[in-house]
Amino acid sequence: MTPRYFAEDLRHFVACLFERVGLARGRAEVMTETFLQADLLGFTTHGLHRVAHNLEWLESGKMRREGEAKILSDRGNCFNWDADFLPGPWVLTRAIHCALQRLPEYGVVSATIRRSHHIACLAAYLPPVVEAGYVAILTCSTPAENTVAPQGGRDPLFSANPLAFAAPAGDYPFLFDISMSVTAGGHVKRAKREGRELPQRWLKDSAGQLSDDPAALGHGGSILPVGGADHGYKGAALSAMLEVLSMALGGYGRGNVEAAADGEANSIFLQIIDPQAFGSPADFLRQTIALCSLWENCRSDDTGPVRVPGRRAWEARTRQLAQGVELYPSIMEDLAPWAARLQVPVPVAKA
């Protein structure tokens, strides 16, 4: 059975780990909450699974512990920051807070951030935004990463380029977090670690042949774009669009030679929209609730319900906050050595 932990116990445990490697308590708590929200929503490859990596980056100096982002431009309704390798969850949370403060005046606020350290799960940032009644669009790309090949090509060009979206819609928000590749790199790494093949041939090997062997990605292979071998031109086009929004608008990316050495640094595009800037909030909700209701009531291909983006994640978040967080087994395996070395007690799983 998957071990369960009280959310508050995990918050205390992970925040203490971050503090022991030199992060201020406030920043440690923001980092912890972001990773925890990912697991609550069911994104197990980009939640607490990423804590060990962040501890390593902080301890090695690859991630900055202190300082603020540099403001490159600011017009009120849009701004651009250079994070200079500050912790991704902390600097992005700051940007969202800044955007929310400005929203009553501007209605729509957009932001870009260059050279932010890895921001992990995009969906994890959106619950406070959607609970406040706003719409959010969030995407990022990684200038130093090439894992996804364009349609018809065997050389990897794009990063995974995830896109998250959230909008209020009644009992649960319309919410999704998807990459522009047919599978996330985290799922490929997990399959390789566990010695199993991928469910389908989602990769190309170095010779351009379709493969379900996760090792192919580390030996000159690539991940297929959304749309797969037949319609990957759609995913490639979307990947390029998201790199324009994050890298080009931010003014830093593949066109900068030095970006190739930036490792896990992300380029980020964020936009938050107040529906009230366009009309009645009630009219807005009427449309989103109707959309989700119609979607729910579509005839299913099998015995299960039709999946509406956001419903399963929101139900998982509610359930796990009440009953305990289900952690993927390898997460505590990776954190246990850090806990022992930093002398932080490991939380006890629920019975």
Q: What is the pTM of this model?
A: 0.93
Give the per-residue pLDDT at 303.
81
Q: Give DSSP secondary structure letters for 115-153.
A: EEPP---SGGG-HHHHHTT-EEEEEEE-TT---BPPTT-
The full set of domains in the chain, from first to last, is 4-182+224-283+316-326 (3.30.1370.60)
How many CB atoms within 10 Å of residue 51? 23
Give the per-residue pLDDT at 184.
81
Alpha helix locations (H) across the chain?
Answer: 7-20, 25-41, 51-60, 88-106, 127-131, 185-193, 228-243, 249-250, 281-296, 311-323, 329-342
Please list the pLDDT of the chain residue by residue as tens digits (351 residues).
678 999 999 999 999 999 999 999 999 999 999 999 999 999 999 999 999 999 999 999 999 999 999 999 999 999 999 999 999 999 999 999 999 999 999 999 999 999 999 999 999 999 999 999 999 999 999 999 999 999 888 889 999 999 999 999 999 999 999 999 988 888 898 899 899 999 999 999 888 888 999 999 888 899 999 998 889 999 999 999 999 999 999 999 999 999 999 999 999 999 999 999 999 999 999 999 999 999 999 999 988 889 999 999 999 999 999 999 999 989 999 999 999 999 999 999 986
Sequence-separated contacts (24+) of 195-204 with Cβ below 8 Å: 201/229, 202/228, 204/149, 204/154
**What are the φ and ψ backbone dihedral angles of 269, each rounded to 5 degrees?**
-125, 130
Q: Are 129 and 286 in contact (CB under 8 A)?
A: no
How many CB atoms within 10 Å of residue 105? 10
Who's near 174: CB < 8 A, 6+ residues apart? 165, 166, 167, 288, 291, 292, 308, 309, 310
Give the per-residue pLDDT at 156.
92
Give the per-residue pLDDT at 1.
62
Give the per-residue pLDDT at 116.
98
